[in-house]
Structure 1
Amino acid sequence: MGNTVTRGDFEWVYTDQPHTQRRKEILAKYPEIKTLMGPDHQLKWIVLGMVFAQLVACHLVRELPWKWVLFWAYAFGGCVNHSLTLAIHDISHNVAFGNRQAKWNRWFAVLANLPIGMPYSASFKKYHIDHHRYLGGDTLDVDIPTDFEGWFFCTPFRKFLWLVLQPLFYTLRPLYVNPKPISRMEVCNAAVQFSADFALYYTWGLKPIVYLLSGSVFCLGFHPISGHFIAEHYMFSRGYETYSYYGPLNFLTFNVGYHTEHHDFPSIPGSKLPMVTQMASEFYDRLPQHQSWTHVLWDFIFEEELGPYSRIKRKCLLVNKS
């Protein structure tokens, strides 16, 4: 990627994100890819099954010793909850019911949110659109760490701590970098979530609540599945800002590993992204990719040149912002 300038320790660029041009080139050569766009009719049933599985798990853990509540939160419940956050990611692109049923997608995301324990889906939707529209945009893309994060979390131990605290940074960073007014949907999301939490506590006590919340914190922090947070956009190869991973953990994460393909075609459901890779393989085979999310975490912690500063940032014009 040309026209780069170092400012601080981020890689600053003054070019457009690569996904826009690649999308045009791929569609010009393979217009049939447009047939993959649209809803994934299986997604809602998978999500409902996962929500039901967590309800059953809450019933089962209510009388376990605390150490086993926390064990199962990390080993099982947190994995399901992390997967649900990625289902919400897919739903935020209206792939559960289609673009014509946007409200159905919003409310279904609230349902998928319930096992996570804290309201998440409405706020995620609000900021995730900016992540796609202004990838790496200064003060616009809240996926980019702050200067403090890049400056302070620079040693192996501090980077490990930063990974553990990822849920905290993802929650607080938008409030500092790009605060937005609270929407009516966020209020509804919170009201539904806290009502469900109270009903669960009233019915089965505190342990199911701890099981859900601790699982979310554990598996959105330092966990093999959470390797995708680092693998997606941290610059492991100079000049490349988005990376894909084609390994088996995609089965648990709604193919979020196909991340370059997702940014090229955000309206294509995760379940169909492997078809994009197959149909336009010459566009993706030549790009750097990751083989293991666990290895990504290891390299991120112990490679001196990697850290929260290892991101591409750009100045973006506020066009068509809604």
Structure 2
Amino acid sequence: MGNQAPSGDFEWVYTEQPHTDRRKQILAKYPEIKSLMTPDPHLKWIVSMMVLFQFLSCYLVKDLSWGWLVFWAYALGGCVNHSLTLAIHDISHNVAFGNKNAKWNRWFAVFANLPIGMPYSASFKKYHIDHHRYLGGDGLDVDVPTEFEGRFFCTPVRKTVWLFLQPLFYVLRPLYVNPKPITQMELVNAVIQLGYDLLIYYAWGLKPVFYMLAGSMLGMGLHPFSGHFIAEHYMFLKGYETYSYYGPLNCLTFNVGYHMEHHDFPSIPGSKLPQVKKMAPEFYDNLPQHSSWVRVLWDFVFCDSIGPFSRVKRVCKLVKEQ
């Protein structure tokens, strides 16, 4: 338990992110992949059923004891709410209603946000664009931990605490790394979310509100689904900054495990990413991949060569907004 992860620095590179070139190569060989760049007609119905399920769950948990409430918040609410955050991730790429209906996507993301208990969707979209455009970009990609996180959370015990507090770091990190003005949509997101939380509170009391918030915090903290946070971009093998996972948990997380494919083609819905791998297998089969998100979490905590510093960073030139 005394072993320390590397606490010196990130893996600095002086090359562009690999996804742009690979996208060009794949499209040159398999132009038919462009046919997958269409909205997912089922996404809005799946998400709507999940929001309705969590609304009914709020009613069902209102009379539970606090012990059982925490259990169900982790075992059920955590899974559903984490899955909803990944639905919001998909929606942020306009795959629910298409690019021509961008406003519908933004409003639908606010709707998908309701069971999470705290406003999330509008801020996520604002920063997630930078994650794709400036992958690993110093001062731009807020998915990369800060230097403080890398130096302090470097032992198994501290890395476990870091995983547990991961939702908090995702909220606070953008304010330090790349602060941006609050947008009108973020204010609308906050007002609607607060109104929904108050509605639940006045209808059924404090426990359903706790169920929503605890489910979100626990589900995005030390939870099997949270293995994808580490699996996606932490450098388990030198020279590789993005990894895919092809296991069964993809069925519950909108195929976020197909992360190499997602960064190659962000406009393709998660439901169609397995087809990308099937259509261009030689571009993905020989790349490093993860077989278990739980194993990823275990290795991250107990392997002394992996920690918050295990990320590729680069200096990126700002792209002019159109």
Same fold (TM over 0.5): yes
RMSD of the TM alignment (CA)? 1.1
Partner of 1:3: none
Partner of 2:181: 181
CA drift at 1:280? 0.3
Specify the SS of the correspondent of 1:300: helix
CA drift at 1:88? 0.1
Q: Deviations over 1:149-195 (max 9, x none)?
A: 00000000000000000000000000000000000000000000000
Partner of 2:217: 217
**1:230-309 → structure 2 map (5 Å cutoff):** 230-309=230-309
Distance 2:186 2:75 in 1: 30
Maintained 8 Å contact 2:7/2:154: no
Pairs aligned (count) = 317
**1:52-71 → structure 2 map (5 Å cutoff):** 52-71=52-71
Higher relative contact order (CA 8 A, sep 6+): 2
Q: Which amino acid aligns with 2:52?
A: F
Identical-pair percentage:
74
Partner of 1:13: 13
CA drift at 1:320? 2.5
Specify the SS of the correspondent of 1:51: helix
CA drift at 1:304? 0.4
Distance 2:277 2:108 in 1: 28
CA drift at 1:8? 4.3
Specify the SS of the correspondent of 1:118: coil
Q: Deviations over 1:5-51 (max 9, x none)?
A: x9942000010000000000000000000000010010000000000
Partner of 1:117: 117
Distance 1:228 1:318 in 2: 28
Q: Which amino acid aligns with 2:176?
A: Y
Partner of 2:134: 134
Runs of 4+ in 1 over 6 A off after TM superposition: none
Gaps of 5+ in 1: 1-5
Distance 1:221 1:320 in 2: 35
Distance 1:299 1:281 in 2: 27
Partner of 1:151: 151
Partner of 1:87: 87
Distance 1:129 1:176 in 2: 18
Distance 1:72 1:102 in 2: 35
Partner of 2:37: 37
Partner of 1:318: 318
Specify the SS of the correspondent of 2:119: coil
Q: Which amino acid aligns with 2:23?
A: R
Distance 2:47 2:15 in 1: 38
